[in-house]
Amino acid sequence: MRSVSVGDHELELGSDALVELRESTDIRDDPAALRERLAEDGYLFIRGLHDPDRVRDARADVLEHMAEEGLLDPDAPVAEGVIHPEYFGDAFDMSAASWTHYPNLTELVEGDEIMSFFDRFLDAPPLALDRKLGRAKATGRFTGFHVDRIFMGRGTDQLYTVWRPIGDCPVEMGPLLVCPGSHRHDRLRETYGQLDVDRDAVEAMFSEDPHDVIETIGGPLATADFEAGDALIFGQYLLHGSLTNQTDRFRISVDTRYQSVEDPVDGRWVGTDPIGHYEWPHDDPTPMAEQRAEWGL
């Protein structure tokens, strides 16, 4: 078994606590089957959803920009994405205005390939939210467990996230980690899932301890080795986070959101210059442990 971690908490891939993601590649062209699988598991793991060559081209765009910014080790090939020895940040933000540096990435997340997929999946013309979230996570960094609805829940609940690594991403590099079936946990949906990070001064992460998530919400958790072109799709209420990047290379990923054009839209995430979050993070938020105690979670 391979040892991975979420912060200070270790897990063994292949143990009772952490298993491989269930693949939906074989049903990728069957929208009804995909919708049924999503309702059951809370996610769709599709290998080769994107053209791997397009992903590699997008990765080259990103790494070229990062090299220009002085974020990569000058003694290593740019294509390897090795972190500069003097870089001590959490993540390089590829969102907002900097997005214009990446033409291949734009085609990847807004082009005919992905929009045609959602046209079939939604059985309606799709809309990609304008504000995209791209990140290059450094060594030792990870994301705590959360649901997306607390960040973008003012529109339709039928909003779907697509997370894809920009390049190969083995578990040691820190891909996404999900809690299958958590989207059907009624108490989680009714309490934590109703937060709004701009409105409510509460810590955003439900937990940073995978064992806590398993004991409270259920398990096992699931992840996988991702290759260029693979993608993970999930809805607003799936509890998820990421493994820790245990390598000396940036983990580069982009997550984008899609919905039907016919459904209500969260106005913070659309327009020529989307506002995104305007109050979060708060200066003195209520600790999540305190809030969970009140919820009985």
E strand map for the chain: 2-6, 9-13, 18-20, 43-46, 91-93, 126-128, 133-137, 160-165, 176-178, 221-223, 231-234, 240-242, 251-260
Sign of the C-alpha dihedral computed for residues 50, 54, 56 and 59 taken in this order: negative
Amino acid found at 121: F
The percent of residues in the chain predicted with pLDDT above 70, rounded, is 98
SS3 186: helix
Q: What would the pLDDT profile of 117-149 be if each residue is shown by its tens digit?
A: 999 999 999 999 998 889 999 999 999 999 999
CA separation, residue 172 to residues 11, 33, 112, 251 (Å): 11, 31, 32, 10
Tokens at 21, concatenated: 């993601």
Task: Reply yes or no on whether the pLDDT at 90 is more than 90.
Answer: no
Burial zone of 278 (CB within 10 Å; 0-12 exposed, 13-18 middle, 19+ buried): exposed
> What is the average pLDDT value for the chain, to the nearest integer?
95
Q: What would the pLDDT profile of 92-124 be if each residue is shown by its tens digit?
A: 888 765 676 788 999 999 999 999 999 999 999
Model pTM score: 0.96
Phi, psi of 62 (to 5 degrees): -65, -50
The mean per-residue pLDDT over the stretch 43-65 comes to: 96
Domains of the chain in start order, with CATH, are 2-295 (2.60.120.620)
E strand map for 155-197: 160-165, 176-178
Q: Which residue has the higher pLDDT, 89 or 25?
A: 25
> Which residues, 6+ apart, have CB-to-CB distance to 186 below 8 Å?
none
The mean per-residue pLDDT over the stretch 5-34 comes to: 97
